[in-house]
Every structure is written in structure tokens, then in C-alpha cells.
Amino acid sequence: MKKFVNNPENFVKEMIEGVVLANPNLKSIPEYNIVYRADMPRNDKVSIIQGSGSGHEPAHIMLVGRGMLDAACPGNVFSAPPMEYVLECTKLMKSDMGVLYIINNYQGDRMAWDMAREMAEMEGIKIGVVIVDDDVAVTDSTFTVGRRGVAGNFFVIKAVGAAAERGATLEELVELGKKVNSNVRTMGVALTSCTPPAKGKPIFEIGEDEMEVGVGIHGEPGRRRDKIKPADEIVDEVYKAVRDDLPFKGGDRVALMINGLGGTPISELYLLYRAAHLRCQDDGLTVVRSYVGNYCTSLEMAGFSLTLLRLDDEIEDLLAAPAEIPIRVF
């Protein structure tokens, strides 16, 4: 296993400690894997929280900050957080205006967050829920009924995070989150597998000349296994699958994201971005915001996903709002 790791059991906790050491405006509660804004909660702002498996960094603990998440409570690598983590995180972020859950659509996550919600509501905390399920590859996957939630999650968080800073109510944020989710579509491709530290072996096998088209972020099977093709041909297929699903049409304004799955260099991501941008131009889609980098990963997996988000004035404005999270450059 070629990884920088100490005791694999401490992988998530040591990563969290690093995030908090590097970001003095964040705090943590190690017992529950909670990372939260030191200046939250506030009773004049809805708190926004999320927690899914670890291993998808920067999602979700590195998306905690002003204008994004107020707290995150991840589980172990590729494991939903235990219900108690979610409940403790909810109580910690309790606000008079309510707490918004943004939940990626996996069975384990749904169950943990549903149970925590019931218990939090019994304690008088007002909860709103937005489910993210943007992956067009397949319906009903290894860990999912319905569609999987993947990189589109970033846009949901960015939009509701900005709106919450402006004082939106819980009901408004739920409606906004659902709107963003209903306008975002994603599909991914993997060239390699990846190895969770505590497992010590790859989550699936793949040949030296193969790719998995439509892969899930936990290595779930996609639409099919194929031989590797030139990058432009791969983008062609992924782009069309994403475009035709909503469908996106000529005249649409869009945000275009090429998301790395962890082990793909940014040079290749920009080469893929080029192809995707040109396809948008050919179809008359206007790309008004571009995102190229690692937003939702699968440890060191080599691969990418392509996300299109249809914009209206409200969403475009919220995407452009300032935010401050650990995955900054400067």
C-alpha cells in the first residue's frame, strides 16, 4: 500500500487534526469527527451541515467555512457517519433559524441522517433536508436506491451556503437546494481503483488498458467496462450522457466542472476541460463559470467526472458570492 499513513485506524482523525491546525478559524470535536466554524452557530443564520464517508476530500470537511458548510461529521473512509456523530453535530450547530442537512443519496447516509433528524426534532431543533443525487450513470447502485450523489454536491453547498449568509430561511434554502440539485448532472470515468488505508487492498480490480465508464465514487460499477480511448472520445460519451439527461439545450447558461477523482494530474483535467468546453460551444451552451480541479474524490483514484449545472440569475449570483474554505490556494 503506497500511502502516507501512520496507524490506518487513525487516518481520518489525523487528517482532521491537520485541517484544523492549518485553519485557525475551524475547530473540531475529535470524538465525533466533527469539523466546524469557530464562529458558528448563530441564531440569525441557518446552520448547514453534511457528513458522508471520508475519502472524498475536499468533500466534505474541507468545504467547511464562511459561505459553505458550517460543520461536517464524516464517517470512516467510504463509510457513513454513525447516527451519534450526526446528532452531536446537529446539536452543536443548533440555531433558532434551523439546521439544514445536505445528504448525498446513499443508503447508509440516508439512514444515519434520518434517525438523527427524528431525535433532533424531538429536542425541538428545526431541520430541513436536501438530497443530492446528480449521477446520471446508473439508477439503484451498490449502496444506493435511486441515483448517487457525487460532484454536484459542491454546487448545492455553494449556492445554499451563500444564500444562508444573506439570511435566507430554512424553507427558502430547502427550495433552493432542491432547485440546484434538479439542474445539475454528473458522470464519471475511472482509470484505476483506490485503496482505503484500513482495508489495505484496492476496492476493485481493473486491467492495465481498461476504464470504468460511469464509475461511482466508492468504486461502484458504472455503465460498462471498456478499453481506454483517446481523451476526446471519452469526453464525448460522458458529455452526451450528462447533456441528454436533463436535457441541456442550446441557449442554456451553464457551469462546467471537470472534477478529478484524486490521482489525475490537473494537466489532464484541463485537457479534458478543453474537450468538454468545445462540446458545450458546439451545442450552443454558454459556459459562464468553469471549475477544474479536485472537488469530490475517491482517495487516489485516477479518473474524472464531468458536471453540468444549468444556471438562472439566482444560482449564478450565488456561485459568484465570496466564500472561505480550507481548499483555497493563497
Site string for its own copies, 270-289 (x = CB under 8 A): xxxxx--xx--------x--
Q: Is 60 a catalytic residue?
A: no
* 267 touches its own copies (CB under 8 A): yes
Q: Which three cell numbers stand for residue 276?
A: 468538454
Interface pick for its own copies out of 9, 17, 39, 312 (rule CB under 8 A): 17
* 219 touches its own copies (CB under 8 A): no
CB of 205 vs its own copies, minimal distance in Å: 14
Instruction: Classify residue 36 as left (phi > 0), alpha (psi -120 to 50) or beta.
Output: beta
* 11 touches its own copies (CB under 8 A): yes
The catalytically annotated residue of 56, 60, 117, 277 is 56
**DSSP secondary structure string for all residues of 143-187:** TBSSPPP-TTHHHHHHHHHHHHHTT--HHHHHHHHHHHHHTEEEE
C-alpha torsion sign, points 200, 204, 207, 208: negative
Interface pick for its own copies out of 32, 51, 57, 102 (rule CB under 8 A): 57
Query: For residues 300-319, which are near its own copies according to CB under 8 A?
Result: 300, 302, 304, 319
Site string for its own copies, 189-208 (x = CB under 8 A): --xx---------------x
CB of 60 vs its own copies, minimal distance in Å: 12
Query: For residues 223-242, which are near its own copies according to CB under 8 A?
Result: 228, 230-232, 234
Query: For residues 62-91, which are near its own copies according to CB under 8 A?
Result: 62
CB of 230 vs its own copies, minimal distance in Å: 5
Q: Is 56 a catalytic residue?
A: yes
Helices marked H in the chain — which ranges?
11-22, 83-92, 107-122, 153-165, 170-182, 231-245, 266-283, 313-319
**DSSP secondary structure string for all residues of 66-110:** BTSBSEE---SBTSPPPHHHHHHHHHHT--TT-EEEEEES-HHHH
Q: Which three cell numbers stand for residue 14?
A: 489525523
* 186 touches its own copies (CB under 8 A): no
111 closest CA partner among 166, 51, 200? 51
Based on CB atoms, which residue is closest to its own copies, 35 or 89? Answer: 35
* 2 touches its own copies (CB under 8 A): yes
Evaluate whether 74 touches 36 at the Cβ level (below 8 Å). no
Query: Could you give the CA distance from residue 211 to residue 197 in angstroms, rounded to a whole number?
Result: 23
Query: Could you give the CA distance from residue 114 to residue 117 in angstroms, rounded to a whole number?
Result: 5
Beta partners for 29?
34
Interface with its own copies (CB under 8 A)? 2-7, 11, 14-19, 21-23, 54-55, 57-58, 62, 158, 191-192, 208, 228, 230-232, 234, 262-274, 277-278, 287, 290, 292-294, 297, 299-300, 302, 304, 319-320, 322-323, 325-330
The catalytic residues are: 56, 218
